[in-house]
Amino acid sequence: MNKLLSSLLLLVLFLYGPIINSTTNNESGASLYLDHGCYACHGYNGSGRYPIANNVSGIMSSEALFTMFLRLRADLNPMTPTNSMPNYSEAVISDQQAQDLYAYINTLTDDPPQIENIPVLKDILDNATRKTEYE
């Protein structure tokens, strides 16, 4: 019986291992995404002011490029306060954590309806008129 259970467990791990591992990475990535302030510019769901969902960003084309981007961005002598992309050194986000973050960001999707299927936006478009005189 124990052998059977062990075999079943191994089978489950074989079949779902990558997913379980991915989920773990995603959980870690999700936590890192919030803790290190990615949400601040990219939005809680990757669809913020500087969208990162749907793989729209070139820096997401590979894990290596993403990690390099995290490491190389800082202006070490900013003259004024800036909301530019911060630098994340290895001491702050390890390579493993960067991988988790990369994995999580890859899961972010934004699939809003088309304008025609958003009644408010369609209404705005259909009723758009320019004033002809100043009241």
Give residues in contact with other proteins (CB under 8 A). Answer: 35-37, 39-41, 43-45, 47-49, 51, 73-76, 78, 81-84, 86-89, 91-93, 110, 112-115, 118, 120-121, 123-125, 127-128, 130-132, 134-135
Buried-exposed string 53-66: b where 16+ CB fall within 10 A, e elsewhere: beeebebbeeeeeb
Question: Of 25 and 33, which CB lies nearer to other proteins in the complex structure?
Answer: 33
CB of 8 to other proteins, least distance (A): 39
Please provide the DSSP assignment of 97-126 as one string. HHHHHHHHHHH----PPPGGG-HHHHHHHH
CB of 41 to other proteins, least distance (A): 7
CB of 51 to other proteins, least distance (A): 6
Buried-exposed string 10-33: b where 16+ CB fall within 10 A, e elsewhere: eeeeeeeeeeeebeebbebbbebb
Question: Of 21 and 84, which CB lies nearer to other proteins in the complex structure?
Answer: 84
